[in-house]
Amino acid sequence: MNRMNDAVRNTRIEGMILLDGENILSMDVTNVRRRVGMVFQKSNPFPKSIFDNVAYGLHVNGITKRSVVEEAVHKSLEHAALWSEVKDKLNKPAAALSGGQQQRLCIARALAVEPEVLLLDEPCSALDPIATLKIEELLFQIKSMTAIVIVTHNMQQAARLADCTGLFLLGKLIEFGDTRKMFQNPGKKETEDYVTGRFG
């Protein structure tokens, strides 16, 4: 969904993914990545300061006016529920943060460029339960700002967070719909088998 597959040789793609009615598979990849932010399974702060990590996307997009960058960094760290923890150490290395803080920093970095869609790939899989709770609370707070697509194998997390859920199996979308219905009354046998723990 952010065209990472472009770098994989012999990748075969079928179907369409529409963003504002336009197929992202035929859009300029730079434009796609400007509009679709990505947060990976393992936090990946850049070897820079906390401030420079969040400001990175702004600089790449040509936004350099100091007051604008400072405001965007502050706002993004606030949205990522991290500002109160780092406001006095913005020039410290991002690598000095805890794992949960680093993941929230990566979310702040993605939010700084105001993406239309935020992709999260198993964002809590490497985190302890307390850090996971903070990330989930954060996602509830920011879902009014951007569309969020989260990939998770944790069914309880999907049930807690998602308005809509899709089940993929062997590269095919088996079922998609309202999360409550998917978990309580799935329409496909494969979904029922997965939800009830018969496989997966």
pLDDT in tens, 41-95: 999 999 999 999 999 999 998 999 999 999 999 999 999 999 999 999 999 999 9
Q: What angle do CA 86, 88, 91 make, to 5 degrees?
A: 80
Give the predicted TM-score (pTM) of the model: 0.87
Q: Which helix (H) or strand (E) holds 168?
A: strand 164-169
List pLDDT tens digits, range 47-61: 999 999 999 999 998
Ranges of each domain in the chain: 4-162, 163-200
- What is the CATH number assigned to the segment(s) 4-162? 3.40.50.300
**Spatial CA neighbour of 108 closest among 37, 42, 160:** 37
Give residue 200's pLDDT.
63
One-letter amino acid at 121 equals D
